[in-house]
Amino acid sequence: MSEEAKWYVVHTYSGYENKVAQNIEKVVENQGFGDLIFEVRIPTEKVIEYKDDKKREVERKIFPGYVLVKMIQTDDSWYVVRNIRGVTGFVGSTTEPIPLTDKEVEALGVELQSVQVNYEIGSEVKIISGPLEGWTGKVTALDAEKDLVTVTVSMLGRETSVDLQLNQVRLA
């Protein structure tokens, strides 16, 4: 039993994802499980669809038949979610649900990670990973939303701009 909330994948009947999510949220509210079950999400994506010469933006489920639940896994929280109408079970073994890893959560874009950096435009930084590891350069642009930093490096006497992830550089 973990004291830290983790994301779990709940399998539902196809087409019941929204109803299951609503029911879990209702049970949490009505029965006071707010300290065990924190968040319920249905992974979706926005898609531009062209139909009858009209452009529409539609929201589609990425994984039909699955709902993500952030909870502290206890016998009570497991029992409550497992017995919601439309839920067929947790992904994992039948006795113990398996939480998603941090990489899986990040890849799904379920939980936005805020990155704080100690450098700014004009700072001298050292590249700590990737093909240019060990090189130093100046930060010319920062885009925290896209997790990108543009660094100008002097290569063979020429200034070259490279786009890197925020965690690939540190203050020199």
pLDDT of residue 136: 94
Residue 141's H or E segment, with its range, is strand 136-143
Q: Is residue 1 part of a domain?
A: no
Rounded Cα distance between 67 and 81, Å, is 11
- The verdict on 44 and 89 lying in the same domain is yes
Q: Is residue 36 part of a domain?
A: yes
pLDDT of residue 137: 94
Residue 171's identity, in one-letter code, is L
Tell me, what CATH number does 45's domain have? Answer: 3.30.70.940
pTM over 0.85: no
Q: What is the pLDDT along the chain (172 residues), one digit of tens a residue?
A: 446 889 999 999 989 999 999 999 999 999 988 899 999 998 888 877 777 778 788 888 888 999 999 999 888 988 999 999 999 999 887 678 889 888 887 777 665 555 567 888 999 999 998 889 999 999 999 887 777 899 999 988 899 999 998 888 888 8
Residue entry with tokens 């067929």: 88
Cβ-based neighbour number of residue 132 at 10 Å? 18
**Number of domains making up the chain:** 2
Which pLDDT tens digit goes with each residue over 26-60? 999 999 888 999 999 988 888 777 777 787 888 88
Residue range(s) defining the domain that contains residue 101: 6-108
Q: What angle do CA 29, 16, 91 make, to 5 degrees?
A: 85
